[in-house]
Amino acid sequence: DRLDENIKIDEYIPGVKLTVSYWRELTTKDPKSELGYKLTIQTDPNDPTRTLSVIHIPSIGQKESNEIADRAIHSDHLSMERLIVHTVYIRSVQRLTDLKAEFNKFLKNIEYFIQGTPAILTIPILNPCLRAEQIHVTVDTHTGMLKCHVPKHLDCPIMPEFQLALNGDTSKLAQLSTELRYWITHKRCEITLQHLPAVIMENLPFLSPPTLPLLKSGRQKIFVKLKRHPQIVLILHLKEKENNPNEIDYTFHLGFLNFVSQEDPAEGQQQVPHPPEIPRFYTKLLKLVEFDTFVATHGPGTHVNDVPSYKRKLGDFIGQPASKQAKTIIRRTSSQNWLMSLQCVMRRFRSLLCLENSPREIYHTVAFK
């Protein structure tokens, strides 16, 4: 009764044949499975004393799969439920194997894994990444439909459309994989900056739409605004590598901003009087500078593993007074302050995007540093 909606007895002749259909929802939605998925147990019409035979529609076509399915027949107690469970598992592995070949068309040289019961296909959409950041695809044992999720980001807004593409138009998988790759990178950057005086913005409130493609909002851009220096913005441009699309290449741009209100008159124009309202401030780009990625993230002030020395002088151990040093007060200019803030932000980005450390080490450093 509990499986009445998913399993149906199509034909039953006592002592001769029993035909059961399963994955009925997949049969109605998948044009490749017009005949449906059926399982038939029948006796030999020429010799009823022989062992029962199992017929699969469509044919499984694997010798080891038939042997696994026949265990339910050759056991001491005939179990229809055990036979269906083994058959559904084999079908699930076959569906995931076909899906693996579909992903291999645009994601080559990647290790895919099919493991577990029920079978799960893990797809490393971003290399390298945690297992919890990989796409986990499984087959609904009741309906036969494919389901997917990213364990670390269960609220990912792309996954519903991704799941529709898995069960429908697979030509959209390449584009959706790209969007998901950028989305996961955005989340990584947000986690990296959550303990720094910086905030990630999806776009900048320009008074007029920007003409530069770099300043337009999109998944390929990340705008980092320094809280202590609002006139400085760091623009991170993401791009897939040509040879390895599952890896991300990036460039840094530094923008100098000025804040203007909508009421400010343009040059050569007079301001029209109007009732006083709350002024709205917008962003105006004054200058845009591109960073050399290697120099910006490998300079002398961006050591990732800079461990201070805790050695004491020899005089402290032999009883001699330590030499006194004059106190030096260092006064930094405003430009030095925002430069140090940028170095700190880019140092974190380098650990995350250049992937010097494993993602697990990166998240550990962000959480406790």
Q: What is the 3-state secondary structure (H, E, C) of 230-271?
A: CCEEEEEEEEECCCCCCCEEEEEEEEEEEEEECCCCCCCCCC
**Contact yes or no for 40/18 (Cβ under 8 A):** yes
User: Helices (DSSP H) in the chain: which residue ranges?
Assistant: 24-29, 63-74, 80-103, 159-167, 173-193, 293-297, 314-317, 334-353, 359-368
pLDDT class for 157, splitting at 50, 70, 90? very high
Q: In Å, how far are 39, 53, 129, 138 from 94, measured between CA atoms?
A: 16, 22, 26, 11
Does residue 64 carry a pLDDT above 80?
Answer: no
The two tokens of residue 319 are 């009883």
Question: Across the chain, what does the average pLDDT equal?
Answer: 75
Q: In Å, how far are 134, 136, 161 from 151, measured between CA atoms?
A: 8, 8, 17
Q: What are phi and psi of 251, to 5 degrees?
A: -135, 150
Give the 3-state secondary structure of residue 229.
Answer: coil
pLDDT at 172: 93
Percent of the chain with pLDDT over 70: 65
* Of the candidates 71, 113, 90, the residue with the CA atom closest to the CA atom of residue 22: 90
pLDDT at 165: 94
Question: The tokens 């260092």 sit on which residue?
Answer: 330
Average pLDDT over residues 327-346: 56
The two tokens of residue 310 are 């805790």
pLDDT at 95: 92
Rounded CA gap, 367 and 196, in Å?
11
Rounded CA gap, 369 and 367, in Å?
6
Select the more confidently predicted residue: 358 or 25: 25
pLDDT class for 286, splitting at 50, 70, 90? confident
In whole angstroms, what separates CA 197 from the centre of its chain?
A: 26
**Contact yes or no for 134/124 (Cβ under 8 A):** yes
Rounded CA gap, 261 and 221, in Å?
25
pLDDT class for 147, splitting at 50, 70, 90? very high
Average pLDDT over residues 292-317: 53
pLDDT at 47: 77
Select the more confidently predicted residue: 352 or 59: 59
Rounded CA gap, 18 and 84, in Å?
13
pLDDT class for 145, splitting at 50, 70, 90? very high
- With both helix axes pointing from N to C terminus, report the angle between 359-368 and 334-353 in degrees, rounded to the nearest 10: 140
Does residue 206 carry a pLDDT above 60?
Answer: yes
pTM: 0.73
Does residue 353 carry a pLDDT above 90?
Answer: no
pLDDT at 362: 40
pLDDT at 305: 53
* Of the candidates 50, 43, 57, 34, the residue with the CA atom closest to the CA atom of residue 13: 43
Does residue 152 carry a pLDDT above 80?
Answer: yes
In the 8-state DSSP scheme, what is residue 275? -
Rounded CA gap, 188 and 190, in Å?
5
Say which range, 148-152, 176-180, 336-340, has the weakest mean pLDDT: 336-340
How many other CB atoms are there within 10 angstroms of residue 296's CB atom? 19
Q: How much of the chain is in helix, strand and coil states, percent to nearest 5?
A: 35, 20, 45
Q: In Å, how far are 109, 183, 311, 322, 332 from 319, measured between CA atoms?
A: 64, 60, 16, 9, 37
Q: Where are the domains of the chain?
A: 7-90, 95-187, 195-261+280-302+335-368
